[in-house]
Structure 1
Amino acid sequence: MKKYAIVGTGDRAAAFGKPMADAFPNEVEFVGVFDSNPLRAHTFAQEHGGVPVYTDFDTMLSQSGAELYVIATPDYTHHKYIIRTMEAGFDVVTEKPMTTDSDKCKAILEAEQRTGRQVTVAFNCRFMPYMAQLKTIIEEGTIGRILSIDFNWYLDTLHGAQYFRRWHRHMHQSGGLFVHKSTHHFDLVNWWLDDEPVQVGAMGTRQYFGASREQRGERCLTCSFKKSCEHYIDIQASRYLREFYYDNEKEDGYIRDKCVFGDDIDIYDTMSAQVQYKRGALLNYTLVAHSPYKNWSATFNGTGGRMEAGEYFRGPRAEEPMHHIQIYNRAGEVISRQSKKATGSHGGGDYRLQQMICTQAEDELRQRAGSKSGAMAMLIGVAANRSIAEGKNIRIQDLLD
C-alpha cells in the first residue's frame, strides 16, 4: 500500500484527500497534510479523517512516511515543493499548471533529471470519457491527419468571477488564465494531436472584470454595493468558505472574497491565441471568463473530414444526458456518435486520474502526463502572455533555451 501526503489545502486538495483513500482503500493511505496556514491545515485534517498535520514541510518529508506527495498549493509555489520533494527522494503529483514561468519550469525539469524521481501533472481533462472518446476517434484516423483545431471555452460569470476574487487575479501568482486555466485546454490539444507546439501568437484584454465600474469595494463582506452586485458572495453564509477561509484570515491575511472589480487585478478576462505545431497543425483558441452560460466547443479539420464536439455545463442544453459528436467525411456522409455523460467531478475525470495514480492501470491512450507534458502545456500560456506584452509571435524553444 502506497502512502501519500498533501501539500496545500485549497479547493483542489479536497479531491486528493480522504476521497482518494476511500475510493482506493487497498492501494493508498492518506497520512499527512501541510499548509502554510496551519489553521486551515487543521480544518482540512478534521474534514478528512483527522490525518496528522505538519506545520513544517521538511518535517513532513522526513517523518510522515509518505512515498508520494500531492502538490496543491498556489501555482507560483509549485516549483519549490516539487523540487524539495524530489530531492528528498519522493515522486510528486502536482496540480496543473506545473508552474507559472519558464525559469521555474526549467528548474523542475533539471531536478527531475538529477534526482531520478518522477513528476505527474494532474491533467484530469485527459481522463474525462468524452475527451478520451475524441482522442480515440483521432487515433483511428476517422478524419485523417488533423490540419487545424478551433477550440473555444466559455466560462460563465459564476465560474469566471472566482479567478478575479482570489489570488489568481495577480499575474505573478497564477500566470493569468492563459496559464492557470488554459493549461488544461492546451494540454488536451497537445495530447489529441500527439504533437508539440512550436510558436504562439496571442491577444488579451480585460474589459469586464477589474476596474471597469465605479461601484466597487475592497471585498464582498464589507462592500456598500452588495445588494446590487451580481457577483456578491456571502463568505460567512457558506460553511466551507467560513471555516476554511474567513475563520483563518487572522493567520495569513488571505481574503477569499475580494472585489472582482478591484484596481489591483492585472490578468485578462478575454483571450485568443494561435499555436503552430511541429507537424504543421494550427490551433485557434479562445477563452472568455464572463459568458452568460458555461460551455465549450471544438472543431477538428482533417485531411479526411471534419469533427465537431462540445458540451454545455450550465445554461441551455446543460441537462442533456448524452454527449454528441458529429463527423463529416469527404464522401458527404454525416456520422453521429453519442455517449452517456459520465458522473463524478470534472466529468468523471478526477476518479479516473486517481485510479491511474493509485493502481498503475494500463494507459493505452497515454493519459498519464509527465513533466514534459506539463511543460509544453504551461509554456503555451507563458508564450501567449509574452506575445501580448511584446506584440509578436513567441517560439517555445526560446523559452527553454
Structure 2
Amino acid sequence: MTRRYGIVGLGHRAQLYLDALAGDWSDAGTVVALCDTNHTRMSYYDTGLRLYDAADFPEMLAGIDALIVTTVDATHADYVVTALDAGVDVIVEKPLTTTEEGCARIAGAAARSSARLIVTFNYRYSPRNSAVREVLASGRIGQVTAVHFEWLLDTIHGADYFRRWHREHDKSGGLLVHKSTHHFDLVNWWLDSSPATVFAQAGLRFYGPDGAGVGSGPFDLDLTRDPRLKALYLDAQHEDGYIRNRDVFSDGVTIDDTMSVLVRYANQAVLTYSLTAYAPREGYRVAFSGTRGRLDLEVSERAWCSPDAAIDPTAGKNAEETYERLTVQEHWKPAEEIVIKQGVGGHGGGDALLLDDVFRGAGTDPLARQAGWRDGIRSVLTGVAADRSARSGHPVRFIADGLALRND
C-alpha cells in the first residue's frame, strides 16, 4: 500500500520532499495534504492536494500515515508530539526542537507512541563524512582522544540567518541549536558517544546594529529576482508580516554570530568547536587525534562569491578553490590521502541516500546513518547547553546518557 504523506510548513525546505515523492521516490508514497499558517504561501503549492490551516492540523493527521515537519524550529515539538500521540510516523527537519522542555516532551511522546520518528541529518550521508566514520571505525588512529572542529559560514550563507526568522533566538534557538545541531550530531555519530559536559563562549560581533560588519559590503537580498522566493515570501508577507529579507545590521537580532564550544564526551574524548557566520569563504576543518595517529578532513565548499550568490549559488564561485581532502597518518608512517567516493546529486549523492532511508527504510547500514529521536535530542541539548553556558559563564552537565541536562 502506498503511504500517504502530509507536510506541515511550506517554506523553501518543503520542496525537497515534494520533489522526491513526485519523482524518484513516488513508488514509496505520495503527498496528499499540506498545512501552513500562511494561505498565500500554501496556495503556491496548490495542485489539487488537500490544504489545511494550522488550526485544522489534527484533522489533517487523520488522513495520513506519515508527517513531514518543515516549520519554524520552535514549533517542531508541538507538531511532532501531536503526530506521535495520534500514531502517525514523523519525519522532522533538524533541529528536532529548540529547548530542553521541547526535548522532554518529544522523548515522552516517543516513549508512549508506536509511531516512528526520523530526524533528517543529511550531513551523515555526505560521502566525506561517511568516509570519516569508516576510517574511525577501522581503528587506524586508535581510540579518539580529541577532536578539533571549525566551521565557516560565508557572507552569503551566514548572512542569510540574520535576514530571516533565524535571527530571533526564540524561534531558532540560535545558531548553536539551528546550525550547530548538524555538527554536534556528526561528532556524536563519529565518536559513537554522548556529551557529558559543555562549556562555551559566544557573542554577536559582526551583524546587528552595533556589529563590526556595519557598512562592510552589499548584504541586501533582492527576492524579486527569484520567482519562487518572491511567491513564497515577498508575495505572502502581507498576510502575516513575515519579512524574508531583513537588514542584517538592523535591530532585532538576538542570536550570536561568533561561537566557541568545549565538550567532554562520555568516552572521555574532548571536542573543541567553533562557528563563525561571516567568513569570506565557506567550509570546515575537522581533525581527530587518536592513540595511534591522526585523521584530518578539510573542505572548501565556496572559496569566494559575489552578492548574487544569494540567488545564484554559482555566482563568483571558483571551482579551482573548491575541494575536499581526507588524510590519515598513523604514528611513524607517512600521511595517506583517502579517496572519497562521490555519488550523484546533492551533497555528493548524500541526499539520495537520505531520501532512500526516509522513504524506503534504512535496511542494513554498517554506518548506522539513520537518526532517531535520541540522536536529535543529544544534538539539540549540546547546543542548548552551550548557549546556556555562554550566557552564564559556567559549564553545563548532562545526565541520562546525554538525553537531559543537569539543572544545578
Superposed counterparts of 1:275-354, under 5 Å: 275-315=263-303, 318-319=319-320, 323-354=324-355
Amino acid at match of 2:111: Q
Residue of structure 2 equivalent to 1:243? 231
Residue of structure 1 equivalent to 2:256? 268
| Cα contact 1:322–1:341 (8 A) shared by 2 | no
Q: Distance in 1 between matches of 2:372 and 2:320?
A: 34
Q: Distance in 2 between matches of 1:243 and 1:22?
A: 23
Residue of structure 2 equivalent to 1:13? 14
**SS of 1:339's equivalent?**
coil
Q: Please say which of residues 379-388 and 109-118 is displaced more in the overlay.
A: 109-118
Q: Distance in 2 between matches of 1:188 and 1:42?
A: 37
User: Aligned-pair distance for 1:400?
Assistant: 6.3
**SS of 1:164's equivalent?**
coil
Q: Distance in 2 between matches of 1:369 and 1:96?
A: 10
User: Aligned-pair distance for 1:242?
Assistant: 1.1
Distance 1:136 1:202, change over 3 A: same
User: Aligned-pair distance for 1:322?
Assistant: 6.4
Q: Please say which of residues 124-133 and 206-215 is displaced more in the overlay.
A: 206-215
* Percent of aligned pairs sharing the same letter: 37
Gaps of 5+ in 2: 305-317
Amino acid at match of 2:45: F
Q: Distance in 1 between matches of 2:332 and 2:76?
A: 50
Q: Does 1:379 align with 2:381?
A: yes
Amino acid at match of 2:393: G
Q: Distance in 2 between matches of 1:301 and 1:237?
A: 46
Q: Distance in 1 between matches of 2:242 and 2:193?
A: 40
User: Aligned-pair distance for 1:173?
Assistant: 0.8
Q: Distance in 2 between matches of 1:215 and 1:334?
A: 40
Q: Distance in 2 between matches of 1:86 and 1:38?
A: 25
Q: Distance in 2 between matches of 1:21 and 1:28?
A: 9
Q: Distance in 2 between matches of 1:21 and 1:306?
A: 44
Q: Distance in 2 between matches of 1:207 and 1:346?
A: 30
Residue of structure 2 equivalent to 1:368? 370
User: Aligned-pair distance for 1:388?
Assistant: 0.7
User: Aligned-pair distance for 1:345?
Assistant: 2.5
CA offset digits 1:177-202 (Å, max 9, x no partner): 00000000000000000000001000
The one of 189, 202, 223 aligned to 2:200: 202
Q: Please say which of residues 228-237 and 250-259 is displaced more in the overlay.
A: 228-237
| Cα contact 1:384–1:394 (8 A) shared by 2 | yes
| Cα contact 2:206–2:213 (8 A) shared by 1 | no
Q: Distance in 2 between matches of 1:39 and 1:53?
A: 12
**SS of 1:242's equivalent?**
helix
| Cα contact 1:18–1:30 (8 A) shared by 2 | no
Superposed counterparts of 1:146-185, under 5 Å: 146-185=144-183
CA offset digits 1:275-317 (Å, max 9, x no partner): 0000100001010000001010111100110011121110177
| Cα contact 1:146–1:281 (8 A) shared by 2 | yes
TM-score, normalization by structure 2: 0.90
Q: Distance in 2 between matches of 1:178 and 1:318?
A: 30
Q: Please say which of residues 332-341 and 24-33 is displaced more in the overlay.
A: 332-341
User: Aligned-pair distance for 1:205?
Assistant: 1.2
**SS of 2:263's equivalent?**
strand
Residue of structure 2 equivalent to 1:38? 39
User: Aligned-pair distance for 1:31?
Assistant: 1.3
| Cα contact 1:155–1:295 (8 A) shared by 2 | yes
Amino acid at match of 2:388: R
User: Aligned-pair distance for 1:342?
Assistant: 3.9
Q: Distance in 2 between matches of 1:343 and 1:176?
A: 32
Q: Please say which of residues 366-375 and 231-240 is displaced more in the overlay.
A: 231-240
User: Aligned-pair distance for 1:332?
Assistant: 2.7
User: Aligned-pair distance for 1:340?
Assistant: 4.5
User: Aligned-pair distance for 1:362?
Assistant: 2.4
| Cα contact 1:295–1:312 (8 A) shared by 2 | yes
Residue of structure 2 equivalent to 1:98? 96
Q: Distance in 2 between matches of 1:96 and 1:9?
A: 15
**SS of 1:346's equivalent?**
helix
| Cα contact 2:9–2:36 (8 A) shared by 1 | yes
User: Aligned-pair distance for 1:331?
Assistant: 2.0
Residue of structure 1 equivalent to 2:128? 130
The one of 391, 394, 398 aligned to 1:392: 394
CA offset digits 1:351-397 (Å, max 9, x no partner): 21110011113222111101000000010000000001110110122
**SS of 2:133's equivalent?**
helix
Q: Distance in 1 between matches of 2:203 and 2:105?
A: 30
Amino acid at match of 2:117: V
**SS of 1:79's equivalent?**
helix
TM-score, normalization by structure 1: 0.92
Residue of structure 2 equivalent to 1:219? none
CA offset digits 1:183-227 (Å, max 9, x no partner): 0000000000000000100010111101136998xxxxxxxx9xx
User: Aligned-pair distance for 1:319?
Assistant: 4.3
Q: Please say which of residues 114-123 and 300-309 is displaced more in the overlay.
A: 114-123
Matched pairs, number? 386
Q: Distance in 2 between matches of 1:86 and 1:303?
A: 43
